[in-house]
Structures are given as structure tokens and as C-alpha cells.
Amino acid sequence: MKKSFVLFAAAAAVVLLVACGGGSSEPAATTTGETAAPKSMVADASAYDPKRGEGKFSEENTKLGALDAALATKGKAIADTKCLSCHKTTDEKLVGPGWKGVTTRKAPYWILNFITNPDPMIDKDPEVQAQLELCLVRMPNQNLTEDDAKQILEFMRQNDGAK
């Protein structure tokens, strides 16, 4: 009885090791030492537009004028509650990347789409996936309204010196 229990335990251990130790057969780096570009986590990533993002905002329905200080103040209040525990307003990484310069690097509609719809963009956007590899924490969906997102965008613009 004891002998069969030991054989059973050994066989189970081998099965677990084989099942859990599979790993990927793809190399993690190229021969030049560069890391491979992140791959999309979903099959339809080829239809994704990295300049627009994924969501209801586009160049046609997102027009910005002069900075709206009142909206920026509301956006700061929302960011203080929902965003700034993970992001800094400088270019320094906290949990997530710093916000400094984000409105000069990304289109306003891309930012709005990411704020309101982060999950599919994290799954499809190569730059966001590369950022995820650095930060190691996936941005949670904060379930922000369109108005919340627009206010946060105004705060980001104010942070970047928009007038």
C-alpha cells in the first residue's frame, strides 16, 4: 500500500511538472540582444488603429480649443481620486507611467478612448503592451463617464502647459 502511494505521488509530481513547466518555444530576445516586440493578446489586433485607439472618440468628434480651467480643476479632483495613486504628473513612473507630455505624444481622442476603454487598447496597442511590460500592472477600468474623461484630459493638458 505504501509503495503504491509513493509511486502514485511520484507520477502525479511528474505530470504536474510537465504540465506547468511548458513555457513558450519562442525566443525572448533576438540575436542582437533586443527584446522582441510585444504581441497582441487578441486575434483581431490587425484592425486596430494605434493612432486612434478603440472607443467612441475620433478626430471628427473630438475638437479642443483653448484650455478650460474650470474643467481642468474638475479633472484634477477626479485624477486625485482615481488616477494619481498610480500616476505622477511628472515624467516619473510610479505604478503607471508619468503623465508629463502625454498630450503632446498622443492625440486627444486616443487619450479619451484609453481613459474610458482601457481593456481592449491594452490588449491591442503595441505601445501600451510595451508600457505594460515596463510597469507590470494593467491599468484598471475606472468606469469613468465621458465628462469625467474630458475633465481629466483638460487637467492633463493644463499639466502639459496648454493655454
Q: Tell me the pLDDT tens digit for each residue of 40-93.
A: 444 456 778 888 899 999 999 999 999 999 999 999 999 999 999 999 999 999
Query: In the prediction, which pLDDT does 49 show?
Result: 86
pLDDT tens digits, 13-43:
443 333 344 444 444 444 444 444 344 444 4
pLDDT at position 159 is 97
**Treating both helix axes as pointing N-terminal to C-terminal, what angle do 146-159 and 108-116 enclose, rounded to 10 degrees?**
130
Residue 5: band (very low, low, confident or very high) from pLDDT cuts 50, 70, 90:
very low
Q: What is the DSSP string of 15-70?
A: HHHHHHS---SS-SB-TTSPBPPPPPSSGGGGG--TTT-SSS--TTT----S--HH
- pLDDT reading at 3 higher than 80: no
- What's the rounded Cα separation, in Å, for the pair 129 and 42? 12
The answer to whether residues 76 and 159 touch, using CB atoms and an 8 Å cutoff, is no
In this structure, the number of other CB atoms found within 10 A of the CB of residue 7 comes to 10
Pick the CATH number of 54-163 from 3.30.1360.120, 3.30.450.20, 3.40.120.10, 1.10.760.10: 1.10.760.10
Q: Which amino acid is at 154?
A: E
CB-based contact 121:28 (threshold 8 Å): no
pLDDT recorded at residue 48: 85
Maximum pairwise Cα distance, the chain: 81
Tens of pLDDT, residue by residue over 134-161, are: 999 999 999 999 999 999 999 999 999 9
pTM, two decimals, is 0.71
Return the pLDDT at 45: 60
